[in-house]
Structure 1
Amino acid sequence: MTGPTGNMMDNSGFDAIFGGTRLMAILRGMGAERSLALSTTAWNLGIDVVELPIQTPDDVEALRVVAAAGRTRGKAVGAGTVVSAEHVAQALSAGATFTVSPGLDLDVVRASHEAGMLSLPGVATASEVQSATSAGLTWLKAFPASVLGPQWLTAMNGPFPQARFVTTGGMNAANAAEYLDAGASVVAVGSALEDPAQLPQLAALLGAGARR
C-alpha cells in the first residue's frame, strides 16, 4: 500500500482506492450502530470509500465495526482526524485502510505509510501544496473546502497539475458539482447522507462521474 519503496511519501495508491469514484463519505461522531447504517447507505448508493474521524474511544470502536463490514464488501474504510503517531496506531488496530489528517504533517504521513496505510494530509495554502508535492504526495485533502472555495482549486491546479484534491468541509449535494467542475477529484460528504432529499442528487453525481 505504500507505493515505491524509494519514496515513503508516495500516496498514489489512492488512485486505486478511489477508482474513479467522485464522492467519499465522512461519518463523524455517530457511534458504531449509526455509522454502520450510514456506511451501508453510502455503499448501496455507490459511494465506495468511507472515512470515520477518530477523536474518542467510541469513534475508534465505530471505525472497527465499519472497517470489518467494509472488508466483507471489499470497501476501503479510513480513519480521519489523524494528527499523531498514537492516532496512527489506533487506526491500524481498528482495521483502517488509510488515514486522513486536517493538516500537513509529514511525520504522520510517514508513520501511516510505515504502518501500511496510505495517508491523505490536509492543505489550505500554496505553500502546503508545494511542500506536499515536493515530498512526493499527489493526493491531498483541501480543507476547509467551503471556506477555500472552488476558485482555490482552479488556482492550485495551475502550478500543481499533478495534485489530486479531495474537498472536505461543508460539502453537500448542492455544491459538490461546483467543486468537481473546478478541479476536485473527489468530494467528501457527511450529513448529506442523512438527508433523503439529497440522496438522488448524490446518485446523479456518481452517475455523471461514471459517464465522464
Structure 2
Amino acid sequence: MAHRHIIAILRGITPDEAVPVCTALVEAGITLIEVPLNSPNAVDSIGRAAAALSDRAEIGAGTVLTPEDVRAVAGAGGSFIVSPDTNPAVIVETIELGLKSYPGVFSPTDAFSAIRAGATGLKFFPAEVLGAKGIKAMKAVLPPDLPVYAVGGANPDNFHEFFAVGCTGFGLGTYIFKPGMTVADVAERAAIAVAAYDTGVSR
C-alpha cells in the first residue's frame, strides 16, 4: 500500500466520528491516520477505523507513552505508533509486535537513541520550535534514507520549507481536525494539504 507521507492527527475524535472522518481523509488522499491516546475512548476509535479501512489506510495511535499502550493499540488493529518523546521501551515493544515506530525527537541525542532502539522513522517535534534550520542541521548527521516528519507547526503553507531541508512528510494536527469540525471541513482541509504535498514532491 503506497501512502503520501501525511499523517492526519485526530486529537479529540470520538468513536462515533472515527469512521466517517477517516473515510473522508482517505477519499481525499490521506491514508496515514493517527488517533492520539488522550482522545475519548481512543482504542475504540482505532479499532473501528482499522476494521473499516485497513485495506485502504494505516490507522495508528499517537501520544503513546508506555509499552502497555502499544499492546492495546496492536490488539485493536493499529499499525503504527507515534510518541511525543523518545522512549526506547516503547520503540522496542512496537517493533517486536510488528508495528511501525515514529518517536518524537528534538535533539541529536534523542534521534540516535530512537535509531538504536529500532525506530522506523523520526518525528521532529515541535517542528515550529526546531524550525527548518534546526532540522537541516540534524539531518546532516542522520542516516539519509531514514524517514523524518515535521510535526507541530507544519501546515500546507510551510510544507515547502520542510521539504527543502529533507523532510519526508508531515503530521497535521489542529489544521486537519479539531473537535467540532464537520466531515466536510476535514475533507476540505485534507484536499488542500494533499495538493500542497503533491506540489512539493513534484518539485
TM-score by length of 1: 0.81
Who is 1:82 aligned against? Answer: 64
Residue of structure 2 aligned with 1:168, choices 151, 161, 167: 151
Which runs of no fewer than 5 residues in structure 1 stay unpaired?
1-16
Which runs of no fewer than 5 residues in structure 2 stay unpaired?
178-184
Q: CA, structure 1 residues 48+74, in 2 after alignment: closer, same or farther (shift >3 Å)?
A: same
Q: Retained in 2: the 8 A contact 1:38–1:193?
A: no
TM-score by length of 2: 0.84
Q: Retained in 2: the 8 A contact 1:22–1:209?
A: no
- 2:79 maps to 1:97: yes
RMSD: 2.2
Who is 1:132 aligned against? Answer: 114
Q: CA deviation at 1:155?
A: 0.8
Identity over aligned residues, as a percent?
32
Q: CA, structure 1 residues 161+211, in 2 after alignment: closer, same or farther (shift >3 Å)?
A: same
Residues matched between the structures, number: 194
Q: Retained in 2: the 8 A contact 1:173–1:192?
A: no
Q: CA deviation at 1:35?
A: 2.8
Q: CA, structure 1 residues 133+83, in 2 after alignment: closer, same or farther (shift >3 Å)?
A: same
Q: Retained in 2: the 8 A contact 1:144–1:169?
A: yes
Who is 1:34 aligned against? Answer: 17
Who is 2:181 aligned against? Answer: none
Q: Structure 2: how far apart are the matches of 1:47 and 1:61? A: 21
Q: CA deviation at 1:95?
A: 0.7
Q: Structure 2: how far apart are the matches of 1:192 and 1:57? A: 19
SS of structure 1 residue aligned to 2:123: strand
Residue of structure 1 aligned with 2:128, choices 138, 146, 150: 146
Q: Retained in 2: the 8 A contact 1:48–1:75?
A: yes
Q: Which amino acid aligns with 2:195?
A: A
